[in-house]
């Protein structure tokens, strides 16, 4: 029951009790009875005035508390005309003004933070207290993979680790952090792409070393080759050519991009690729789509990429019934599939590492050349063996152009 209801009951009780008492005492004296009735009326008027000034303002304050509960921070309480109550009303309205200002400030900060997270190139993955993923930004959706999820589960709070994608050149740093919210530390992960920075640092390092070695070897060869026997001179020239191959890696020109049809560019390489596969006793099939596949690429550099991929696939196939399939899929995907022995799981993360090779006489230049050219074309690519069909696929996704 509300306070005003108690007040009404009290007023009715006081009036009834006073009336009965005075009637019983002065009921036989008309003049005193009328004075008594006048007194009762006066008490009634006073109680009504008391209600207006004291009890009724409580309803206003209670209504204000309901507004706060419903988060209506725009409505204000009107003065009641009673000094003490108006002091509370002014304080309450001032509190609402402060709450509204703080609420607006928090909303603006939240909106800005949400926009910043959505636009961030870093992946941000928020988790529940149980460690389950609750939300992620668009960058994280693009980066998330089984390898990254596995690394996230094993990463303790406050630590970070680096993950290299299997069969792809991408490299990521994952940090496990937390933020306070309502007394709890909520975990989240930051996924930072390091691919471009690492490739740039790698290239700067091996460029300096290769150029220095090539300069010294070629200068030495030029100075002493005439004083050696034919066999020794041939061996020295072979060494010079060996070093020159490394030097050629750092001389890859910037691609001169032109709008081309991907299937047509693949078709243009058909004769050379067929001869290459025939020499390795490998069947070559083309499954090119009839749909238009407009992409921007450098035709000369693209041919080098395609030749190196097919050459590596053909050399990896042992025995008979070797087969390579080159297929294109709209809008801009190229896939080279082979039925070779496949790529071991422990080798896949190192495929695009500079000068890494599993071949006894390999120099690790082919995939390095492919990586640098495709990266310059802004392609995404991977080289993986599918566990379901045991086929190895080199998949290249070009930026599509309408």
What's the token pair of residue 22? 């005075």
Bridging pattern class, strands 184-193 and 171-181: antiparallel
* β-pair partners for 92: none
Round to whole Å and give the CA distance between 169 and 167. Answer: 7
Round to whole Å and give the CA distance between 178 and 184. Answer: 9
Round to whole Å and give the CA distance between 355 and 128. Answer: 43
* β-pair partners for 181: 184
**Backbone conformation region of residue 329, classed left if phi is above 0, alpha if psi is from -120 to 50, else beta:** beta
Looking at residue 394, its pLDDT comes to: 93
What's the token pair of residue 7? 């007040």
List, for the chain, all residue ranges whose pLDDT scores fall below the cut of 70: 1-12, 14-15, 17-37, 39-40, 47, 49-61, 68, 71, 73, 80, 82, 84-85, 196-252, 318-320, 354-356, 358-365, 401-402
222-258 pLDDT, tens digit each? 556 566 666 666 666 666 666 666 566 556 678 888 9
332-352 pLDDT, tens digit each? 999 999 988 888 888 887 787
**Reduced to 3 states, what is the DSSP secondary structure of residue 388?**
coil
């Amino acid at each position: 029951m509300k306070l005003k209801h108690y007040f009404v009951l009290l007023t009715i009780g006081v009036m009834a009790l006073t009336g009965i008492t005075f009637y019983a005492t002065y009921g036989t004296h008309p003049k005193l009875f009328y004075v008594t009735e006048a007194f009762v009326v006066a008490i009634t008027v006073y109680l009504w005035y008391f209600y207006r000034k004291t009890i009724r303002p409580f309803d206003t304050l209670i209504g204000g508390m309901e507004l706060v509960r419903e988060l209506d921070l725009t409505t204000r309480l009107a003065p009641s005309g009673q000094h003490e109550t108006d002091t509370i009303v002014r304080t309450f309205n001032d509190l609402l003004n402060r709450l509204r200002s703080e609420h607006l400030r928090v909303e603006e900060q939240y909106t800005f933070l949400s926009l910043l997270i959505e636009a961030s190139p870093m992946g941000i993955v928020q988790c529940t207290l149980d460690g389950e993923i609750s939300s992620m930004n668009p960058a994280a959706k693009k980066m998330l993979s089984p390898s990254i999820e596995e690394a996230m589960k094993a990463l303790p709070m406050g630590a970070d680790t680096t993950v290299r994608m299997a069969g792809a050149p991408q490299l990521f740093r994952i940090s496990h952090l937390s933020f306070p919210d309502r007394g709890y530390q909520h975990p989240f992960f930051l996924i930072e792409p390091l691919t471009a920075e690492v490739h740039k640092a790698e290239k700067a390092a091996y460029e300096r070393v290769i150029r220095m070695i090539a300069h010294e070897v070629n200068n030495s060869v030029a100075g002493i080759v005439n004083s050696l026997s034919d066999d020794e001179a041939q061996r020295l020239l072979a060494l010079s050519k060996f070093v020159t191959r490394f030097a050629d890696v750092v001389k890859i020109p910037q691609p001169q991009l032109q709008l081309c049809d991907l299937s047509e560019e693949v078709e243009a390489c058909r004769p050379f690729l067929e001869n290459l596969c025939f020499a390795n006793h490998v069947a070559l099939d083309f499954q090119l789509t009839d749909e238009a596949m407009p992409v921007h690429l450098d035709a000369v550099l693209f041919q080098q990429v395609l030749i190196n991929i097919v050459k590596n696939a053909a050399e990896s196939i042992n025995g008979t019934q070797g087969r390579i399939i080159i297929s294109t899929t709209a809008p801009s995907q190229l896939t080279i599939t082979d039925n070779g022995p496949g790529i071991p799981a422990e080798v896949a993360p190192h495929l695009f590492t500079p000068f890494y090779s599993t071949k006894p006489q390999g120099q690790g230049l082919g995939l390095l050349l492919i990586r640098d050219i495709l990266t310059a074309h802004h392609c995404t690519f991977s080289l993986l063996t599918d566990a379901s069909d045991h086929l190895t696929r080199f998949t290249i996704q070009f930026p599509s152009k309408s």
